[in-house]
Structure 1
Amino acid sequence: MSDRPDISTLAGLRASGHVRRDLRHEIRSNLLDALSGGRDPWPGMYGFGRTVLPQLERALIAGHDVVLLGERGQGKTRLLRTLVGLLDEWSPVIEGSELNEHPYEPITHASCVRWRSQGDQLSIAWRHRSERYVEKLATPDTSVADLIGDVDPMRVAEGRRLGDPETIHYGLVPRANRGIIAINELPDLAERIQVSMLNVMEERDIQIRGYVLRLPLDVLVVASANPEDYTNRGRIITPLKDRFGAEIRTHYPEDLEDEVAVIRQEARLVADVPAVMLEILARYTRALRLSPAINQTSGVSARFGIAGAETVASAARRRAALRGESESVARLVDLQSAVDVLSGKIEFESGEEGREQAILEHLVRTSTADAVRLHYRGLDFGPLVEALDGLTTVTTGEQVTAQEFLSNLPSLDGSTLYDEVAARAGAINEGQRAAAIELALEGLFLARRISKESDEDETIYG
């Protein structure tokens, strides 16, 4: 963050050569500068580069209010929050003004009085761009007073006449003047509240209890909504739909690499989760989205994979604490804990009662098998299969440490298979090596080359 400018009066601002730009011009100019300069204006947004972002950029360059339509967990809110990066880092306001008015153009009665009386000595303050973004989650109990404003009875009681503009307490939208207001889940607003937004978005004025205040608000309205609700048959009124210049559909990541990148970026991991484990979670999430047994109307949020990675990491951290491991590294055996915990985050089709657990475990197995084939393709597992001859077994489990697992592996005289498996997985320590070899054993079981017996405490390959 750069230093706050030290200009404190209107005279100083004029002398600095500052030029006022309206909000849409400011956003358009900064976006075009970023694009022409090769800078990414959307840091941390994965999977939208060829679809959503070009549409959003065109909408912002055109100066349109925008609504993002998509299922839950598609990154709509995160994308809206990145719009802050397109604002100037610091912008001047009349000090103490309720509506963040520009010192060159006051709009409220109180600020106009001060502007005329103080002239070039008018005090100014500086707002950081992070303060110019207002977010509101639409709920059925949201009122017109919350969004637009209402008459303040306390100010009337102080002796001001009812028609005095200073008796009005402004809501979120006017207070977002010269900034961005984001309304999440827009259709959840009651219809009468949606009606109150019409003048704000078209005429840029506000109406409060019969008063028509011609306040030239400079605000960009952005919103998110579920596509099912954003229809004439849903909970959105047609005139409000007409006010948005751009309706942009979001989607879940289309590429596996983007899915993994989202999990890696958003998950708060308390232990080391190897890259191949994150990939299995990403494959699992994507398999759920394609499964006919899952209700796709409700969607499978990106938060599913994120929460899965966090759960797997916590299982590894718990094992390390209980067994005194110096390194907390997640292994495949920890994945079952995520399956058990996350089943409540998805909805099954009505005909799948009683089969939920079987469906989840089947998709985990297919996701694991796909990852094994990709990473261990071409390796000769013959020596390991021969070593597991029916008498020799390998034991793992939630409470089995990496050192115990590795020491329990059969010796493969003259074979470098274990080293090759570890190298394919990028293992650099004992915990990651154990995770890589455990995954290979599971792959052999899924290929029906070895057997596996599991209970609550341990899993035995043989």
Structure 2
Amino acid sequence: MHQPRILRELRASDHVHRSVKAEVRHNLLTKLRAGEPRFPGIVGFDDSVLPHLERALLAGHDLVLLGERGQGKTRLIRTVTGLLDEWTPVVEGCEINDHPFAPVCTTCVRKAREMGDELPVAWKHRDERYGEKLATPDTSVGDLIGDVDPIKIAEGRTLGDPETVHYGLVPRTNRGVFSVNELPDLAERIQVSLLNVLEERDIQVRGYNLRLPLDILLIASANPEDYTNRGRIITPLKDRFGAEIRTHYPQTVEDELTLIRQESMPDIGADIPEHLLEVIARFTRLVRESTAVDARSGVSARFSIAAAETAAASAVRRAAITGEEHAVARVCDLPSMVPTLRGKVEFEVSEEGRETEILAHLLRRATAETFRNRLGGADLAPLTDKFAEGSQVESGEMVPAAELLRRIGPVNGLAKIMAKLGMGAGDESPGHAAAALEFALEGLYLMRRLSKDDLDGVNVYRT
């Protein structure tokens, strides 16, 4: 596709100059009418958060996403750039992405006056029209808005020359989407610098007589005020945001499962059967609901993602040590998640010293719930009959799948058990069969139909 390279060509084309918010509104309406996905990769917000976000964008509002850690606020903000035009023209070399039809910075205004219709035009992809700043206490007004550039002064320009200004992140994202993450962490005197950006749509730099009208969509994220004592959003700034939208954690096990599948690393090298992913999803939900956990801090979606990756890594480690051809995670890999995940959870002060015990208990509950959901009505008599004469089966993290199957022996109805656990025709390896049988054994133990001795990571199942 030919893109005009000078202003004359751009005027002769069918290009229409729209503000960022008008651009977002137009493209959002187009997707809504066509029934296309508006925010790809966002899970569990379809009927709650996204309708509010769409209304805010259609209204042309700057907005704040408010929610606990790990609820996907930043991920959601980044998807908004998908509502921008794929390509947009800018004055070539402009630091703040001026539109060739309406330049605003001193340099571009001078160029446009001198060059007229020969003004050079460059094109920016929508991925380049996004700016982001994590608000930290050491963030300065210069970082966000701009400051005097001492190098330009040293080159001989006068201090009052507007071209001596070094623009900050906000003006450099002009005609784009700018995100301030964890806005309450920004010092109050720095938050004041955003007041003009949101209301008057311009910036001021160190007393310069510089009015720079910005075309920008500003989206901030914040934790609820009762969660953090590090700061707050000042009232005048809060008033200038057009919308405040609350986010939340996945509300169903299915949403949690979708999130784990989507976000966990695909290249660890191990297969995690569906029933183990369900255990992890239920485990995460139980941790969030536990009275032993500080509800104000929340339990991030990264908790379940890290859990799945840890279980897969445990299976890969076993395969490397024992020589297994194909690594498949099993129930014996789940306890390794507990010490790994302990640091991701804020516990109530009264539970100090019991963190590992609490997480291990919740993991057992999640396993039991998944067993009831998946195998609650299954005929497991052929498996329990193997223990009728006092025999026992030894398993553990370092027991290869083939060896575990040898110890258990043939089990009638194994295919039905695997089918109930979501294993299809392609999941017929020894690793998958061992994963199914070990999960059944663990479930029978948790239902008190078998006993289990845990001896330094070696699990002995018996009657």
TM range (shorter): over 0.9
Q: Which residue of structure 2 aligns with residue 190 of structure 1?
A: 187
SS of match in other structure, 2:132: strand
Moved more, 353-362 or 189-198: 353-362
| Matched-pair contact (CA < 8 Å) for 2:187–2:231 | no
| Matched-pair contact (CA < 8 Å) for 1:311–1:337 | yes
User: How many angstroms does 1:205 deviate by?
Assistant: 1.1
User: How many angstroms does 1:457 deviate by?
Assistant: 3.6
Q: Which residue of structure 1 aligns with residue 446 of structure 2?
A: 446
User: How many angstroms does 1:15 deviate by?
Assistant: 1.4
Supply the AA of the counterpart residue of 2:447: A
Q: Which residue of structure 1 aligns with residue 437 of structure 2?
A: 437
- Which of 402, 415, 432 aligns to 1:419? It is 415
- Which of 20, 23, 37 aligns to 1:23? It is 20
Q: Which residue of structure 2 aligns with residue 245 of structure 1?
A: 242
| Matched-pair contact (CA < 8 Å) for 1:392–1:410 | no
SS of match in other structure, 2:177: strand
User: How many angstroms does 1:389 deviate by?
Assistant: 2.6
TM-score w.r.t. structure 2 length? 0.96
For 1:389 and 1:89, locate their aligned partners in 2 and report how far apart those are by CA, in whole Å: 68
Supply the AA of the counterpart residue of 1:420: K
Whether 2:288 is the aligned partner of 1:292: answer: no
SS of match in other structure, 1:182: strand
- After TM superposition, the runs of 4+ consecutive aligned structure 1 residues lying more than 3 A away are 229-234
Moved more, 224-233 or 164-173: 224-233
Supply the AA of the counterpart residue of 2:441: L
Supply the AA of the counterpart residue of 2:114: S
List gaps (5 residues or longer) in structure 2.
Answer: none
Whether 2:168 is the aligned partner of 1:171: answer: yes
For 2:292 and 2:177, locate their aligned partners in 1 and report how far apart those are by CA, in whole Å: 40
RMSD after superposition: 1.6
Whether 2:297 is the aligned partner of 1:325: answer: no
SS of match in other structure, 2:248: coil
Q: Which residue of structure 2 aligns with residue 374 of structure 1?
A: 373
User: How many angstroms does 1:212 deviate by?
Assistant: 3.9
For 2:284 and 2:390, locate their aligned partners in 1 and report how far apart those are by CA, in whole Å: 37
- Which of 33, 37, 51 aligns to 1:40? It is 37
Supply the AA of the counterpart residue of 1:421: I
Mapping of 1:281-430 within 5 angstroms? 281-389=280-388, 391-412=390-411, 416-427=412-423, 428=427, 429-430=429-430
User: How many angstroms does 1:197 deviate by?
Assistant: 0.6
Q: 1:390 to 1:457 in 2, by over 3 A?
A: farther
Count of aligned positions: 456
| Matched-pair contact (CA < 8 Å) for 1:68–1:249 | yes
Q: 1:172 to 1:233 in 2, by over 3 A?
A: closer
For 2:305 and 2:369, locate their aligned partners in 1 and report how far apart those are by CA, in whole Å: 20
| Matched-pair contact (CA < 8 Å) for 2:56–2:63 | yes
Supply the AA of the counterpart residue of 2:418: A
For 1:420 and 1:233, locate their aligned partners in 2 and report how far apart those are by CA, in whole Å: 55
Q: 1:77 to 1:349 in 2, by over 3 A?
A: same
For 2:273 and 2:209, locate their aligned partners in 1 and report how far apart those are by CA, in whole Å: 60
For 2:228 and 2:312, locate their aligned partners in 1 and report how far apart those are by CA, in whole Å: 41
Give CA deviations for 1:354-407 in whole Å, capped at 9, x if unaligned. Answer: 322221111111111111111113212223222113532112111111111111
Mapping of 1:261-280 within 5 angstroms? 261-269=258-266, 270=268, 271-280=270-279
List gaps (5 residues or longer) in structure 1.
Answer: none
Q: 1:212 to 1:60 in 2, by over 3 A?
A: farther
Give CA deviations for 1:251-274 in whole Å, capped at 9, x if unaligned. Answer: 001011001111111110411111
SS of match in other structure, 2:82: helix
Identity of aligned residues (%): 59
Q: Which residue of structure 1 aligns with residue 48 of structure 2?
A: 51
| Matched-pair contact (CA < 8 Å) for 2:185–2:230 | no
- Which of 121, 140, 144 aligns to 2:141? It is 144
| Matched-pair contact (CA < 8 Å) for 2:275–2:422 | no
| Matched-pair contact (CA < 8 Å) for 2:257–2:278 | yes
Moved more, 112-121 or 165-174: 112-121
Q: Which residue of structure 1 aligns with residue 112 of structure 2?
A: 115
